[in-house]
Amino acid sequence: MAADPTQQPLAERVVLVTGAAEGIGRAVALAAAAQGATLVLSDHPDADLAAVYDAIESAGGPEPAILPLNLDTADERAARGAAELVGETFGRLDSLVHCAAFAPYLARLDDYDAADWEQVLRINLTAPFLLTQACLPLLRASRDAVVIFTADRVGRAGHAYWGAFAAAKFGLEGLAQVLAEETRGTSPIRVASLDPGVLRTGLRARLYPGEDPFGLPAPETAAPAYLELLRCS
């Protein structure tokens, strides 16, 4: 029996989510699976992707796939290898959702460590570029593909002390706009940049240890906005 599109609007769509082990990535992955999507769960090899996998299966969602990928060390070869694995398994990719994020601390530019600067830009900007580039052939094989970049307020207006993270998010905005212009009218790929707002995430807790996390919205509150973009246009 065919899936009811009103209940399973993402049925038969293959969705790759980075940072899927926790926070926004986990919330988006679980919500998309609940609407029928087949998830490719990606995160650092040490992250607990098995827990998300089990949660999807226990809820009756389509069997997901696990794709460990260390964005801190991923180069062009690693990104292409990840894309090839997705292609061998599914033959296409309908959605690529960039949720992985990393920021070690807040600091003045005077005090920002150069090695940390390079790492933050690599994880938040260079790795998303490499993975997107590697996945473009798979996205073009879809009848209606979408790439979603997770934006941040500090990447749309400068905020003191956010250093490399802000610079990376400004760069991600530019990457999204360039990709949108290059794919508009020439492919089935849609491109979106979504700022989910300040949420109760591990990254936020690390940067603001004195803040009451329960005063912030849970990551699950952002999932509907992602789902709206994931649905066919």
Per-residue pLDDT tens over the stretch 46-100: 999 999 999 999 999 999 999 999 999 999 999 999 999 999 999 999 999 999 9
- Phi, psi at 96, each rounded to 5°: -125, 115
Domain that holds residue 202: 14-230
Report the pLDDT value the prediction gives residue 16, as an integer from 0 to 100. Answer: 98
Q: pTM of the predicted model, to two decimals?
A: 0.96
Question: Is 206 part of a structural domain of the chain?
Answer: yes
Residue 119 has φ and ψ, to the nearest 5°, of -65, -45
> What residue ranges of the chain have pLDDT lower than 50?
1-2
| Structural domain count, the chain | 1
Query: What CATH code is carried by the domain that includes residue 75?
Result: 3.40.50.720
The pLDDT of residue 232 = 78
In a domain, 5, yes or no: no
Predicted local confidence at residue 7, as pLDDT: 77
Supply the pLDDT for residue 2.
46
> What pLDDT is recorded for position 6?
60
Per-residue pLDDT at 1:
39
Residue-averaged pLDDT of the chain: 96
- 180 inside domain: yes
Q: What is the pLDDT of residue 4?
A: 56
